[in-house]
Each structure stands twice: as C-alpha cells, then as structure tokens.
Structure 1
Amino acid sequence: MSAGYAQAPAAPGSLGGDVPDTELLAYLDAMLRWKDQRRSELAALDQASLEVAEPAERAALTPDVTLSMTLWQAVADRLALIQATWDSGRVGEQERRRITTLVWGTLEQPGTRGAQSLAVSLPEACRLSDSLASSLRSRLRLDGADPDLTGRLRSLRQQVERIADQVALIPDSRRSSAEVAHGELDQRLSDVTDRAARGADVGGLLAPLESRAATVERDLIVAASARAHAKADHAQATREVAELTARGQAVLSLAHRARATVSPAPRLGVPDVSALGEVPTAPAELTAYRERLGRVERALGVAHSEYAAALDRLEDLTERATTVREALADEPAVLALAEQTDTLLRTRPTDLTRLEALVQAQESFARTMGVTP
C-alpha cells in the first residue's frame, strides 16, 4: 500500500505456475486488504462525484466511476474463487497451480459481453483500478494526496513503462497514436523529474500528469481487452462459418431430395454462407458479419424444418397406407384403392395431396367396417 491509498501488490508466479504456499498466502492477504481499502475509497470517490456541481463535469466522471466499481466487483469475485481454492492452506501442487491460473487468467472469457466488458487478468484489473482511482482523486481535487514526491515520481515512471509495454502489444498498423501518447507522457515526466531534481516546485504539474497517465493506461488496457474480444469473436465466427457451411450443404442435399421425392415440395432458398465473404477483423465489421451469420443460421433452420417436414409427411402416409392395407387385406372392395396407392408410392415425385386422399379413403372404409387401422 502507498501512503494513504490502496496499491495492489505484485502478483506471484505465472499462469499455471507452481508458487510456494507462503508467497500465495502473502499475496492473498495483501489482496484482501487492497480489496477492502479500495472499496472504501470508491465509496468516497462515488460520493464526491455525485457532489460535483457542474453537470457536464459530473457526467464526464461517471464512466470512470462505473468502470472502477465494475473492476472492483470482478476482482472481488475472483478473490472469492482464490480463497475457496486456498481452503485455509490445505493445498497441494494442483491447487497452487489452479490459484496462479486464477490470478493470471482473464477475469472474463473473451467473446462474452457485458456493460463493462474487460478480458484482463487480476493484476491488470488491479493496476487499472489503481490508475483510475488516482485519476479520479486528481480530477475531483480531493485532499490528502500522497505527499511523497519521490514516491509519486517513481510510481509515474513505473506507469509510463507499463504503458510502453501495452503500446508494444498493439499491431503496427494501429500503434502510431499510442506511441505519440506514450512519447508525450515520457517527455513530460522527464521534464518534471528534471525540475524536481533542480529543486523546483512541481506539485502543480504532477496531478495533471498522473491524471493523463491514468487515462492513457486505462484506454490502452480497454483497447487490449477489445482486441482480445475481437480475436475471440473472429475465431468464433470462423468456427460458425465452417459449421454453417457444412450445415448448409446438408440442408441443400435435403432440399434436392425433397424436391425429387415429393410434390408439392417447399420452395425455400437455402442460403450460401460463402456469399458473406471472408470473416473480417475490424470490430465493427465483425459485429455486422456475425449478425448476418445469425440470419443465415435462422434461415437454414427454417429451410431444414420445411424440407424435413415434407419428407416426414411422405413417411407418415406410407406407414398409414401399409397399416390400413394389412388391416383390410381380405377386403376386395379396397383393392383398387390399395393398388393406386402402391403405384403412387412408386412414383417420384410422389403427389402427397393425392396420396393423403387415398389413405384417408381407405381409413374411412376401415372405420365403417369396424376395423381400427
């Protein structure tokens, strides 16, 4: 913890790695303290934001307050799972590896959706929470900011380095604006550090710089989350295309069979998934593409049902014709109807309307004879 405010501890190990019990316990204890303190801080920040007189300024604060609370809840939920796995220290290697997977795995599976959708790990969520809290305190001009100038400068330097790491993860084609933002922060921090080393009063420069750094880091983490979702959505869409392509071919075969076998047959079109083109990578285009995939899936479902129902109707009438023929095998009066039915069943496509009329006529005769087909 920094002086006065919660600061998340460094997370031990790596995804699925084995970490000694003592390190896990120390981290869990520190995280539980962080969780309780951050909850109190967020309550104070929320109250302070509600008391801002200017409506536009208050509205500008709301998204970060909401995101901060969402992050806190996600962290709290994950800590509950870690505590359950820890089980008061009754852990072996398997449980320890599960804990580091819970620490370093995403709080939300990419591809899922929510009001604040963030596919980030527990340490990333905590860093983002720390940055947002610092930014909100600065913007709300709350008293009691950390007076340790050296500590604040060190924290800013660490944050700028984290931002550099985030920038490096952005694809080259989209990195330029993030590089500019990082370069600006790096230069401003170097200037403030040099001024402080010369004995200048930099208190008025630190708060805006901290706010800007928090905003940049938040935006980069959110963007990284969006990329994770886009990647997961792209993979999911690619799987859906493969599945719908196979399903479409099957429904098309079913349609050909139905049209060749029965009359009247449905005349529904069978959508061609390939007509949608390649799966796009841009998030907005991908969203629209997946909506079109959904429409294709629904259309395939309707076509499948209609063509299958036509073939099922032929099968049902065939079974009814067989049953009534067996029931009236000794009745010469229905022989002509039975022969017409057999001839019709051998004809392709089979006229379902006429077939049903013949079957119903034989069933009616059976009932008059007191025979239950």
Structure 2
Amino acid sequence: MPITTTTAPVAPGQLGDALDPAVIQTYLGALDTWVRVRRSELAELDEAALAVGRGGELAGDMSLALALWKAISDRYQLVFATWDGGRVLRQERERISTLIWGRLDGAAELPGGLAVSLPEAGRLCDALTGQLRSRLALVPGADAASARVRDLRAQLERIRDQVALEPALTRDAAVDRLAGLMARLQDLAARAERGADVGGMVGPLEAEATTFERDLIVGNARRRDARDQIISARELRADLEARASALAKLAATCVATVDPAPRYAVPDLDALGPVPVTGEEIGPYLQRLDRVSQALELAQHAYADALAEHAQLVDLLDAYAAKATASGVADRPDVVHAQQAARDLLERRPCPLEIARQLVATYQTWIGKEIAS
C-alpha cells in the first residue's frame, strides 16, 4: 500500500542569527506541512505494522519516531507563537533562531536523555521513518527502482555531511563505511541501467544506509551532549528564555481570547541566577532548569488546548450553519437567532467558553427541531 511521505525542511541560519522574516515564513510553512504529513505517515505505518503482526518488533523505532515528532511539533508551536503573524523585531527573530537551533527539551522518551536540535530531530525522524518503511516494504513506488536509487543517492549525500562531523578517531572508519555503501549503490545503479532486476538488492542497502545515518546523527548528538556541562547549561537557559518569551505571547493570546483561561505563571529565569562555573554547582542548576522546562511545557499545553477548544467551537458552528443551509432551514427565525447569538459570543473577547458551548449546542438543537418539523 502506498504511503505519503515527506522530508524535514532545511532549517535557515544558525544559532543566534536574526533570521530574515521571509525565510522564517517559508520555513514555518514547510515545517507545518512536514508535521502534518509525518504524523499521518507514522499512523499509517503503525497500522501497517499491526496489520501484519509486527507491532511488537517495530515498537522501539515507532516509539522513538513518535517521540521525535512530538518534540518537533511542540517546538513548532513555540516558533509559530513567537512569529506572531510576522510581527517580529530583531529580538524575536533571534529568539526564533534559538528555538530552531537550540536543544529540544520535553522529549523524555528519547534514549539516554538525548539532546538534539530541531533540524537534527527532523533528520533523525526522517531516517527512522525511512527504516520503518523499508522494513515493512512500503516504500512509495517500490516498483520504480530508479526512484529508489535516486532516494539512496540523496541519503548518501546527507550521510557524507554527517561523516564530516565525526571526530578524527572514528572518521576513517565512517569514511570507509560510506565508501562501501557508495560502491554498492554505483553497482546497483549500473545493473538497473542494464535492465537487471535489482529489487532484492535495494532493500538491504536502504536498511543499512538508514541505520548508518541514524547512528551518525545519534552519535553526533551524544558527543555534543557529553561536552562541558556548563556550555550545555548556557544553551538550555538561552532556549528556556526563548520558550518563556514565546509562552508569554501564547498566554496573552489565550487570556484575551477565552474565559476562563488557564492561569499559569511564566517562570522567571532571572530568579535562578547566572549559570555557575563549578562542577559542584552545575548539576543542581541543570536540574532546576529541567524543572523550569517541565513547567513551561505544562503551561504551553494548557494554553494551546484552551485556544484549540475555541477554534473547534467556531468550526463546529460553521459546520452546523452549512447543514442548516443544505437542509433549507437556515433562514428560519429561531435558527437565525440561535446562530447569531452563538457567533456573536464566539467573536467576543474574551469569549466565555462554557456559555459558547451551550449556545452552539442550542443552535444544533434548533436545526434538528426545524428539520424534523
């Protein structure tokens, strides 16, 4: 069965850059598409694994891919809140680059406390998803050998970039492994050009390349995470400051939009003091930063859920209005009055959610009554 797939977009700039607004907008659009398509793809892969009785066998990779997707989706939400429809000055644009290139937190399911940036998480999720597709033999266009060879070439180019990041002690071995994969791909492509059936050769090469790419990404992330804890603490604090600022905007939007709104205090990072420079102090300081990260995540989900409920009520009202029109009862006085009352309340700022729920339900009831009569 064909499965729609996508590749994580290339992230712009680097940590600390004041990104160009047009570049941010383009990246956000591509990342939004990736988040939506990848979630659907993982759901389809999970269903396929269960259908063939391989759910347990693939559970580890599936869980990690979903954890990476969740971490990326949460970070996209914060970047989007900071973007604020394009109303960004230099400070906000620098915060966005920090959110993109800083380490992801709140992904407790990642192995060994793995700390990766948003672009690394996207590449790792791509690699895991590709491996799942290969193991289930669900690669799109599986009969088109040339397309799979083209995808392998692109993957080996990504691997080449990762090999360049390897430390001197392990780089030679990585280069040799990459050279072996490239030689096999060249032989496979030549066979395909001569008309040979290479279907049985593509799958193993895809699996090995995906495993190698994943190992390189994970290894690079773990080496970075093993560096000086003081540097890690500084990166985490900068990331938390950007998240706290984004959360403040999200909270302000929520409080202005719905009533009652969640009431979570945005943690004050200044109260933690500066990042310590001694080994004895850095451990407890990192633990306090982790607690702040958890508090930010809890508050973010609460505010986002409240806004999502308001948006769902608006969508529900529009759906009922379409039903009323299709049923020929939209212009009846009671239906018109009920719709206007619900819409006026949903447009009020802040909107009293409990009453809005009741008015939308009342509108639905009037439609049903008029249709029945």
- For this structure pair, what is the TM-score category when the shorter chain's length is used for normalisation? 0.5 to 0.7
Residue 130 of structure 1 and its aligned partner are, at CA, apart by: 1.5
Residues 82 and 96 in structure 2, CA contact (< 8 A), matched pair in contact too: yes
Aligned counterpart in structure 2 of residue 65 of structure 1, from 62, 66, 90:
62
CA distance in 1, matches of 2:105, 2:182: 31
Aligned to 1:182: 178
CA offsets, 1:192-217, max 9 Å, x none?
22223333333332222222211111
Counterparts of 1:9 and 1:148, CA distance in 2? 25
Q: 1:153 aligns to what?
A: 149
Which one of 104, 109, 112 corresponds to residue 107 of structure 1? 104
Is 1:26 matched with 2:23?
Answer: no
Taking the aligned partners of 1:90 and 1:235, their CA distance within structure 2 comes to 31
Q: Give the residue type in structure 1 aligned to 2:178.
A: H
Residue 147 of structure 1, CA deviation: 5.6
Describe the superposition over 1:21-66 as per-residue Cα deviations: whole angstroms up to 9, x where unpaired. Answer: 222212111111110111011112222223443xxx6544222111
Question: What SS class does the counterpart of residue 231 from structure 1 fall into?
Answer: coil
Q: Which residue of 1 aligns with 2:351?
A: none
SS at 2:6 equivalent: coil
Describe the shift of the 1:80–1:201 C-alpha distance in structure 2 as closer, same or farther (beyond 3 A).
Answer: same
- Mapping 1:324-343, distance limit 5 Å: none
The one-letter code sitting in structure 1 at the alignment partner of 2:133 is R
User: Contact 2:67/2:110 (CA < 8 Å) preserved in 1?
Assistant: no
Q: Which amino acid aligns with 1:18?
A: A
> For residues 125 and 187 of structure 2, what CA distance do their matches in structure 1 show?
26
Q: TM-score, normalised by structure 1?
A: 0.56
Q: Which residue does 2:119 correspond to in 1?
A: 123
Q: 1:100 to 1:152 in 2, by over 3 A?
A: farther
Rg comparison, structure with higher value: 1
- Is residue 84 from structure 1 mapped to residue 81 from structure 2 by the alignment? yes
| Aligned partners of 2:3 and 2:138 also within 8 Å | no
1:273-313, CA deviations, whole angstroms, 9 ceiling, x for partnerless residues?
Answer: xxxxxxxxxxxxxxxxx9xxxxxxxxxxxxxxxxxxxxxxx
Counterparts of 1:3 and 1:23, CA distance in 2: 29
**161 and 198 in structure 1: CA distance in 2 versus 1, 3 angstrom threshold:** same
Code of the aligned partner of 2:206: E
Moved more, 188-197 or 226-235: 226-235
Where does 1:1-373 land on structure 2 (aligned, <5 Å)?
Answer: 4-53=4-53, 58-108=55-105, 115-116=110-111, 117-142=113-138, 144-145=140-141, 149-233=145-229, 240-241=278-279
| Partner Cα distance (2:136, 2:151) in 1 | 20
Quote the RMSD (CA, aligned, Å): 3.2
Higher relative contact order (CA 8 A, sep 6+): 2
Q: Which residue of 2 aligns with 1:268?
A: none
Where structure 1 has 5 or more consecutive residues not aligned to the other structure, the ranges are: 245-289, 291-373
Question: What runs of 5+ residues in structure 2 fail to find an aligned partner?
Answer: 234-275, 284-373
Q: How much identity, in percent, do the aligned residues show?
A: 46
Amino acid at match of 1:41: E
